[in-house]
Amino acid sequence: MTNTQVTLVQIDNYGPWTTTPRPRRETDLQTLQSRLYADLSQFVGVRDGYVFFTRFDNMVAVTNGLTRADHERIQETIRNRYPVTVSLSAATAASPADALVEATELLQDAGSAQDGDRTEILRGEFLSPGRQRPDDVQIAHFDVVDATGTYTDELDAFATFRRIEQGYAALMAHLHERHGGLAFFVGGDNVIAVCPTMAETDYAAVVSHVRDTTDIDLRVGVGRGRTASEAGMDAKQALETGRELDTRVECAFPAVGECATD
């Protein structure tokens, strides 16, 4: 059964900072945000975690394998290199959504996101690396079937963007409400979802739901592992297999169909 450690990353008092003493130049803010995200992505990535940019001032990370000390060092390196600081809170649950609910509550208990005195909070429990198991994290990597031929090369860029966003919105809502999974757009026509233990038939139902409600044809590869990186790389490989076989759902683990049984 999955046991996903989720970390909420929140830039401290960011909104007020962006307009003090007067609104800061938008392109500088965009650069700041995207580089901060890139740095977190590398830092967490070399420890086999994933970070999703989400709203940029609030990011969600899958951090199985990262200790409290790792989280402290994230705070240190941001403080040393950026004009802003970050608060972090972590929680672990079978359901990624539940873990994030708990992590969010821990941070909200420490004060408002726009409280100038609430900085560099670090809350939560961290999985002991020794207790990691090979099915702690389940990652589903979705993309749109022939997105380039169907959309990018055919529609105008904004229409394509809207179509992808519509499919993503339906997927995000369905996975969250029905399964407690957290889906994030990661660029192009790709969505990566951190899922609880789900069966292949569950994924098939998700793909059907999105096609029925938005007419977007998705494909998904699913992997699992001790860490987001392990699970995510297997998911990508499974997605490649799905492309080759022109199937809609491919699970990387044991045997197709068995994914529900663990």
Q: Which of residues 48-67 bind a copy of itself (CB under 8 A)?
A: 50-51, 53-58, 60
- From CA 89, how far away is CA 171, in angstroms rounded? 26
- From CA 251, how far away is CA 219, in angstroms rounded? 11
Distances (CA, A) of 194 to 35, 190, 244: 23, 13, 24
* Shortest distance, position 129 Cβ to a copy of itself, whole Å: 14
Distances (CA, A) of 253 to 151, 216, 246: 32, 26, 19
Where are the strands (E) in the chain, listed by range? 4-11, 50-52, 58-62, 86-93, 122-124, 137-144, 182-187, 190-195, 218-225, 249-251
Q: In the range 83-102, which residues lie near a copy of itself by CB under 8 A?
A: 83, 97, 100-101
One residue of 130, 158, 244, 255 binding a copy of itself per CB under 8 A: 158
* Shortest distance, position 221 Cβ to a copy of itself, whole Å: 9
Q: Is 244 in the site for a copy of itself (CB under 8 A)?
A: no
* Shortest distance, position 261 Cβ to a copy of itself, whole Å: 26
Question: By rule CB under 8 A, what count of residues binds a copy of itself?
Answer: 88
Q: Is 218 in the site for a copy of itself (CB under 8 A)?
A: no
Instruction: Name the one range near a copy of itself by CB under 8 A: 130-138, 204-212, 226-234, 247-255.
Output: 226-234
One residue of 67, 120, 135, 169 binding a copy of itself per CB under 8 A: 169
Q: Is 176 in the site for a copy of itself (CB under 8 A)?
A: yes
Q: Is 81 in the site for a copy of itself (CB under 8 A)?
A: yes
CB 178, CB 212: distance < 8 Å: no
Backbone dihedral region of 188: left (phi > 0), alpha (psi from -120 to 50 degrees) or beta?
left
For residue 195, list its beta bridge partners: 138
One residue of 1, 34, 178, 257 binding a copy of itself per CB under 8 A: 34
Instruction: Name the one range near a copy of itself by CB under 8 A: 15-23, 121-129, 195-203, 248-256.
Output: 15-23
Q: Is 117 in the site for a copy of itself (CB under 8 A)?
A: no
Is the CB of 35 or the CB of 68 nearer to a copy of itself?
35
Residue whose entry in the numeric block shows the structure tokens 């580089």: 35
Half-sphere exposure of 240 (CA within 13 A, CB side): 6
